[in-house]
Amino acid sequence: MRPDIVPGAIFPDYELPDHENVPRKLSAIRGEDPLILTLARGNYCPKEHQQHLELAANLPKIAVAYTKIATISTDTHHSSQEFRASIGGHWPFLSDPERIVQKGKRSGRRRAVLKDSWCVQEMLRCGTRHCGRGVRRGTGCGKSAVRGAG
């Protein structure tokens, strides 16, 4: 993976086709809410499959925290559809078979600041919203999972 995709780094606002082959920008998916963004190798990988099954199982807790999810995979359009259906995902799966994200090609101006996965795990554990604007409910850590910038 690219060395610039690390906690605290700015993530570009990529526009990629989703599982329905409709071009979607990350900023449009995120809106004003935090975004959990997963970068997946694809449907073929059993580890990715298991991680996405666990993410899908936690979707009710994530939704209560007003948090969106998006997956960017190197799968083709049809493989993205299969991946999404096989794990029961109800969030956008963006297709990047040309590996635009992996190669570091930029698109758009709005970006997101990546925070470490501890915040996401803490959000799932305590049911709070970690968005950089404070915790909406509960007594969470006050850190952000992914917040908008720019």
CATH of the domain at 123: 3.40.30.10
The verdict on residue 4 lying in a domain is: no
Domain total of the chain: 1
Domain presence at residue 118: yes
Pick from 7-16, 38-47, 52-61, 83-92: least confident: 7-16
Statement: the pTM of the whole predicted model exceeds 0.75: no
Backbone phi, psi, residue 25, to 5°: -95, 145
Q: Per the domain annotation, does 3 fall within a domain?
A: no
Residues 80-113 have pLDDT tens digits of 999 999 999 999 999 999 988 877 765 443 334 4
Report whether pLDDT(35) > 80.
Answer: yes
In percent, how much of the chain has pLDDT > 90?
35
- The boundaries of the domain holding residue 64 are 10-149
Residue 136 and residue 133: Cα distance in Å, rounded?
8
Report yes or no on 145 lying in a domain.
yes
- Per the domain annotation, does 80 fall within a domain? yes
For the chain, the average pLDDT equals 74
In a domain, 18, yes or no: yes
